[in-house]
């Protein structure tokens, strides 16, 4: 099968670089178009990322197919460039890893979709747009089927927008979903996140603010952590995704001096039916979903890896589990206030960003929305 040519918007940033690294040997997709800000436009990708290449995906820290390094970076604001690449057979759809004002990203992503590009986005601008699916491929793949309604309502032909959620919720949403799928209602959750510096983009907080310190505030993050799981657990109704009414989530989000890997310390309260610790452990260990059944190239073999050691998961030891795509959970124990508590961990720029976006693109290709 010929590979589908893809563009990365925001290719020079923290998430964009992980896209380049993760797609280096992808069996379905090949990066043939890169775009970023006007500051990078006109430089080769090598020049534009010189001195700020931080991608870890792919192991050796180099990453990327050799041809990517000589691509000339285009201005992501100029959609006519992407259309020219499309006519040349170099860009059938785009990953969006842009960091700009919310209104600018919203308008730009809509511009790409109106021009005929499927847009698989990491940005938060469209996460609360009712007809835009916010996908975790293991949790709500069915939400993808709102795309025809989105296209019809907006008069778009091949183009559409699909987003992935905030990186902070990845460490607990899939474990929560596995419990709900197994028949356990969850009423209330308290989560404290310990979020890595790479989550803030490059260059992130100043070292003098962060080293030897914890910053107990990340703008907008607590609202996202509390609301986004509800959309993901919601239902498609009349061309819109109606968020679930619960569980109620209270989040504390903290920036910590860790490079990659978001940790979440979670306490949760079940409804009247309460699993014991052994049952929770079994549900998470056995959890598999559509990406595993269909063997999507980026799918982790086990979406949730249960660690039995008393001091795991840890960012340095566990963030790269299954190429950074698995969520690691541990310290599953009774909670003195709610029912159980645990620690979840996931790689924020892989599972929580580029890897999650690629898995969503695999799902959307499988469903025929990306051609």
Catalytic site positions: 167, 262
Angle of helix 102-114 relative to helix 147-154, nearest 10 degrees? 90
Binding part of the chain for ligand NAP, among 33-41, 110-118, 272-280, 359-367 by CB under 6 A, reads 33-41
Residue 203 or 334: the one with the smaller Cβ distance to ligand NAP is 203
* Single residue of 185, 202, 236, 366 touching ligand NAP by CB under 6 A: 202
Parallel, antiparallel, or unpaired: how do β-strands 304-306 and 240-242 relate?
Answer: unpaired
Residue 79 or 332: the one with the smaller Cβ distance to ligand NAP is 79
Binding part of the chain for ligand NAP, among 119-127, 219-227, 279-287, 327-335 by CB under 6 A, reads 119-127
Residues 6+ apart with CB under 8 A from 45: 11, 12, 20, 34, 64, 68, 69, 70, 71, 72, 73
Binding part of the chain for ligand NAP, among 7-15, 128-136, 140-148, 277-285 by CB under 6 A, reads 7-15
* Single residue of 44, 53, 65, 99 touching ligand NAP by CB under 6 A: 99
Per-residue CA distances from 241 to 150, 238, 244, 300 (Å): 11, 8, 9, 27
Residue 226 or 269: the one with the smaller Cβ distance to ligand NAP is 226
359 forms part of the interface with ligand NAP (CB under 6 A)? no
Residue 332 or 350: the one with the smaller Cβ distance to ligand NAP is 350
Residue 52 or 333: the one with the smaller Cβ distance to ligand NAP is 52
Contact present, 369 and 147 (Cβ < 8 Å): yes
Separation between Cα atoms, residue 52 and residue 211, nearest integer Å: 20
Helix residue ranges per DSSP H, 190-304: 207-210, 221-232, 277-286, 290-293
Of 147-186, binders to ligand NAP (CB under 6 A) are: 167
Contact present, 4 and 370 (Cβ < 8 Å): yes
267 forms part of the interface with ligand NAP (CB under 6 A)? no
Contact present, 304 and 326 (Cβ < 8 Å): yes
Closest by CA position to 143, among listed 168, 119, 164: 164
Q: Give min distance, CB of 328 to ligand NAP, in A.
A: 17
* Single residue of 6, 14, 137, 363 touching ligand NAP by CB under 6 A: 14
* Single residue of 10, 141, 229, 330 touching ligand NAP by CB under 6 A: 10
Residue 306 phi, psi (nearest 5):
-90, 125
Parallel, antiparallel, or unpaired: how do β-strands 262-270 and 186-195 relate?
Answer: antiparallel
Residue 39 or 333: the one with the smaller Cβ distance to ligand NAP is 39
Contact present, 307 and 148 (Cβ < 8 Å): no
Q: What is the helix (H) or strand (E) element at residue 17, kind and residue range?
A: helix 14-22
* Single residue of 56, 74, 77, 365 touching ligand NAP by CB under 6 A: 77
Q: Dmax over Cα atoms in the chain, in whole Å?
A: 62
Of 207-236, binders to ligand NAP (CB under 6 A) are: none
* Single residue of 37, 44, 65, 292 touching ligand NAP by CB under 6 A: 37
Q: Would you give the DSSP letter of residue 288?
A: -
Q: Give min distance, CB of 366 to ligand NAP, in A.
A: 23
Angle of helix 355-366 relative to helix 14-22, nearest 10 degrees? 50
Q: Give min distance, CB of 46 to ligand NAP, in A.
A: 13
* Single residue of 56, 74, 86, 124 touching ligand NAP by CB under 6 A: 124
201 forms part of the interface with ligand NAP (CB under 6 A)? yes
Residues that bind ligand NAP (CB under 6 A): 10-16, 36-37, 39-40, 76-77, 97-100, 122-124, 167, 198-199, 201-202, 348-349, 352-353
């Amino acid at each position: 099968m010929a590979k589908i040519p893809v563009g990365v918007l925001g290719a020079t940033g923290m998430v964009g670089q992980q896209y380049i690294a993760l797609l280096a040997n992808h069996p379905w997709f090949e990066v043939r178009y890169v775009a970023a800000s006007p500051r990078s436009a006109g430089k080769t990708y090598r020049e534009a990322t010189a001195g700020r290449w931080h991608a870890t995906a792919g192991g050796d820290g180099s990453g990327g197919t050799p041809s990517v390094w000589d691509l000339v970076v285009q201005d992501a604001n100029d959609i006519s460039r992407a259309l020219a690449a499309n006519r040349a057979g170099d860009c059938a759809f785009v990953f969006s890893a842009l960091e700009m004002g919310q209104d600018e990203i919203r308008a730009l992503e809509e511009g790409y979709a109106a021009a005929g590009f499927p847009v698989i986005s990491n940005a938060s601008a469209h996460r609360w747009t009712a007809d835009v699916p916010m996908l975790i491929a293991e949790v709500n793949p069915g939400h993808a089927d709102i795309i025809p309604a989105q296209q019809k309502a907006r008069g778009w032909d091949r183009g559409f927008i699909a987003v992935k959620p905030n990186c902070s919720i990845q460490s607990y949403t899939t474990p929560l979903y596995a419990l709900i799928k197994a028949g356990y209602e969850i009423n209330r959750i308290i989560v404290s996140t310990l979020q890595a510096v790479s989550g803030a983009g490059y260059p992130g907080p100043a070292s003098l603010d962060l080293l030897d310190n914890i910053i107990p505030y990340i703008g907008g993050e607590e609202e996202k952590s509390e609301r986004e799981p509800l959309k993901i657990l919601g239902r498609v109704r009349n061309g819109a995704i109606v968020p679930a009414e619960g569980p109620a989530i209270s989040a504390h989000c903290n920036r910590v001096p860790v490079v990659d890997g978001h940790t979440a310390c979670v306490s949760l309260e079940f409804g009247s039916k309460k699993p014991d610790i052994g049952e929770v452990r079994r549900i998470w260990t056995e959890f598999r979903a559509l990406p595993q059944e269909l063997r999507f190239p980026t799918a982790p073999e086990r979406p949730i890896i249960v660690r039995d050691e008393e001091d795991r998961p840890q960012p340095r030891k566990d963030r790269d589990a299954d190429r950074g795509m698995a969520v690691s959970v541990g310290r599953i124990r009774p909670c003195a206030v709610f029912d159980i508590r645990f620690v979840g961990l996931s790689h924020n720029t892989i599972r929580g960003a580029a890897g999650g976006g690629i898995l969503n693109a695999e799902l959307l290709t499988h469903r025929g929305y990306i051609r």
